Chains A and B, each alone.
Chain A
Amino acid sequence: MNKKFVLGIYDDEDVLLTAIENIRAAGTKIYDVFSPYPVHGIDDVLGIKRSRLPIVAFFCGLFGTSFALWMQIWMLGFDWPMIIGGKPHIAIPSFIPVTFELTVLCAAFGMVITFFIVSKLRPSLRVNVFDKRSTDDKFVMAIEIKEGVTDLSALNNLLRTNGAIEVNEKEVVK
């Protein structure tokens, strides 16, 4: 199904933040905002919840720690015990470096892979960019048009009075 959007183009982050607040206060639902860099404070005005990725990182790290400890204890302590330098078979202090490294490795990779999956980022030739200037120097606010519901001229007016330098329409082919 094709979706239609109204795009409000902004060229200043502070104007954008005020505009988002005003537009949301006016009862208009913002579909998404695209910016060339992370705009600080945009999460609050858009109502984006804090990401839960740190929790993913924590549990992946925990898995790394347990796996590394289990692996070393099982391999050197049970599967093929050998006396190395007169140390005990299960010499926990000398297992710490590998445990630490595997913790970091699992935490980092687990989090990043989750980030790619949830943000739908993957190598692909198809890219849906609403306005190509949003990766350069403009901030693009997209508002979905609902046929028969959205009053286009009022929306245009709302965007312009809130500092949009341009208002465009865009149809996205799904």
Chain B
Amino acid sequence: MQHVSPIREPLVTGGKTYHDITEDVCRQVEAKPNARWAAALAVSLVGLAIFMYSVYRTLWFGIGEWGLNKTVGWAWDITNFVWWVGIGHAGTLISAILLLFRQKWRTSINRAAEAMTIFAVICAAMFPVLHMGRPWLAYWVLPLPNTFGSLWVNFNSPLLWDVFAISTYFSVSLVFWYIGLIPDFATIRDRATGPIARRAYSILSFGWTGSAKAWSRYETVSLILAGLATPLVLSVHTIVSMDFATSVIPGWHTTIFPPYFVAGAIFSGFAMVLTLMIITRKTFKLEHYITLEHVESMNKVIILTGSIVGVAYTTEFFIAWYSGVEYEQYAFINRAFGPYWWAYWSMMTCNVITPQLFWFRKIRRSLTATFIISIFVNIGMWFERFVIIVTSLHRDYLPSSWAMFSPTSIDIGVYVGTIGLFFTLFFLFAKFFPVVNMAEVKAILKSSSGVTHHPHKTMHGTDKDLNTNTHHSNE
């Protein structure tokens, strides 16, 4: 028995019963694909086709298909890589950090957010692999015995740390996500009518029965995985930031990068979660599970992390001046007022100014406003990475090697293509997997649904309408 303050808003509205949760979540898994879903998938598949074509061009003709030059050797590829990895971080934050903090509102959004993490990391991984130019030699990044010596990989390099960080992050997130899916697959399996569905979900559910001992272990495993994933997610973006911070490029060589990048990652990730959740709740009619309370909570995280990145931008500028290093000073003046001023000010507007609108409760609880602002944040965070990477590189120590970067159609194609890849995976997930964690939502239902229960009445097993009593809906 837990005490919940009466001023807390219910997390599940509409007076749902356990069975209603099963029905509402399984509905789109069991139903025939509807036209809206098929149309959305078709659009994503077009994006995926663009991705395939751009990858073919990159592999067949080489990295020369991209707009990189000798001065700007890293541009959209690494921008997109950091952008996607950052987006992924919100999923782990919701599923792991909020689990440790016992935030119950995470239960109805953690499944989709973790799926987003996994798909975002898949998209992110495409960029460094493609930038290798010869992805079939990608296994060279692993410390494998080889015929060159054995010449081992360089463990002093942040790029190698990235290999370990991203692959650990991906596999641990995948396992965490899958463990959570097992009980829900069992629910779908036990409801399945068709032989194919029953077999498929039998295999996926690993023979789960929901016995008390298994649940006890399941909870232990979730808690420990959350405890492991929390420092892991922080380490991943810290290491990503070290790709820059350990170099001697003005504008990159700063100690503020790790916390600044982690905050930015959570910021952009929550924006993407909001973008996806607002679409998902509408499409799959999950308004009773993903409520305005959830949207508001996420918007609060956005104000916090948005303000942190705002402080970081200002600090960077201040430190550049305070350091007295003319190259640092030039790098920052060039960022704000040089040829890429528009990217810098887009970043400032989208990341620092727009999220501040969430100080108003009305805006925080407006779906339209939240959706628009979340798109702004996604764009702003892309510009942040672009600004950090391209403006620091394009004018280096030697003015004779100064250059500008402009993307080719293949650069744009790979980027737009990964968005297609992401949404293709997400729509397939939304159709065949339960998008809301049924077991966890059921577990919080009694304490957080706003339904008045009378357990003493049911002691004799007579009161059947336990879950259909009075409830307060807030919509």
Residues of A with Cβ closer than 8 Å to B?
11-15, 18, 32-40, 42-43, 46, 48, 50-51, 53-54, 57, 71-72, 75-76, 79-80, 84-85, 87, 91, 94-95, 97-98, 100-102, 104-105, 107-109, 111-112, 115-116, 118-130, 132-137, 160-165
Output the nearest chain B residue to A14 by Cβ-Cβ distance. B455
Given contacts A12-B455, A15-B455, A122-B206, contact A135 B235 (CB under 8 A): no
Q: Does B207 contact A (CB under 8 A)?
A: yes
Q: Which of B97-150 contact A (CB under 8 A)?
A: 143, 149-150
Residues of B with Cβ closer than 8 Å to A?
1-2, 17-19, 22, 143, 149-152, 154-156, 158, 160-161, 164-165, 168, 171-172, 175-176, 179, 182-183, 186-187, 189-191, 199, 202-221, 224-225, 228-229, 231-232, 235, 239, 242, 438-440, 442-443, 446, 455, 458-461, 464, 466
Given contacts A112-B225, A120-B207, contact A36 B187 (CB under 8 A): yes
Verify B455–A105 contact, CB threshold 8 A: no
Cβ of A71 to closest chain B Cβ, rounded Å: 7
Please tell me which one of the listed residues B164, B204, B232, B461 contacts residue A15 in the complex, with CB atoms under 8 A apart: B461
A111 to B228, CA, bound (A): 11
Given contacts A75-B152, A94-B156, A124-B203, contact A11 B22 (CB under 8 A): no
A37 to B152, CA, bound (A): 48
Given contacts A36-B187, A163-B461, contact A43 B172 (CB under 8 A): no
Given contacts A15-B459, A76-B152, A101-B235, contact A38 B215 (CB under 8 A): yes
Verify A109–B171 contact, CB threshold 8 A: yes
A108 to B439, CA, bound (A): 22
A107 to B207, CA, bound (A): 24
Of A48, A119, A164, most B-chain CB atoms within 10 Å: A119
Output the nearest chain A residue to B187 by Cβ-Cβ distance. A135
Verify A124–B202 contact, CB threshold 8 A: yes
Contacts of B224 in A (CB 8 A): 53-54, 57, 107, 111
Verify A98–B459 contact, CB threshold 8 A: no
Contacts of A124 in B (CB 8 A): 202-203, 206-207
Contacts of B164 in A (CB 8 A): 97-98, 101-102
Verify B466–A72 contact, CB threshold 8 A: no
Output the nearest chain B residue to A54 by Cβ-Cβ distance. B224
Cβ of A90 to closest chain B Cβ, rounded Å: 10
Contacts of A98 in B (CB 8 A): 155, 160-161, 164
Cβ of A158 to closest chain B Cβ, rounded Å: 12
A160 to B461, CA, bound (A): 7
Cβ of B348 to closest chain A Cβ, rounded Å: 31
Contacts of A128 in B (CB 8 A): 207, 209
Listed from nearest, the 10 A-B pairs whose CB atoms lie closest are A137-B18, A97-B161, A75-B152, A37-B443, A121-B206, A132-B190, A101-B164, A137-B19, A38-B215, A51-B220
Verify B225–A94 contact, CB threshold 8 A: no
A125 to B218, CA, bound (A): 21
Please tell me which one of the listed residues B168, B220, B440 contacts residue A54 in the complex, with CB atoms under 8 A apart: B220
Output the nearest chain A residue to B151 by Cβ-Cβ distance. A80
Verify A135–B152 contact, CB threshold 8 A: no
Contacts of A164 in B (CB 8 A): 461
Given contacts A42-B212, A75-B143, A126-B207, contact A13 B446 (CB under 8 A): yes
Verify B154–A134 contact, CB threshold 8 A: no
Output the nearest chain B residue to A115 by Cβ-Cβ distance. B221
Given contacts A34-B209, A48-B216, A51-B220, contact A127 B202 (CB under 8 A): yes
Output the nearest chain A residue to B171 by Cβ-Cβ distance. A105
Verify B156–A87 contact, CB threshold 8 A: yes
Contacts of B214 in A (CB 8 A): 119, 121
Given A76-B156, A109-B175, 5 new contacts (CB under 8 A)? A95-B155, A104-B168, A105-B172, A112-B225, A165-B464
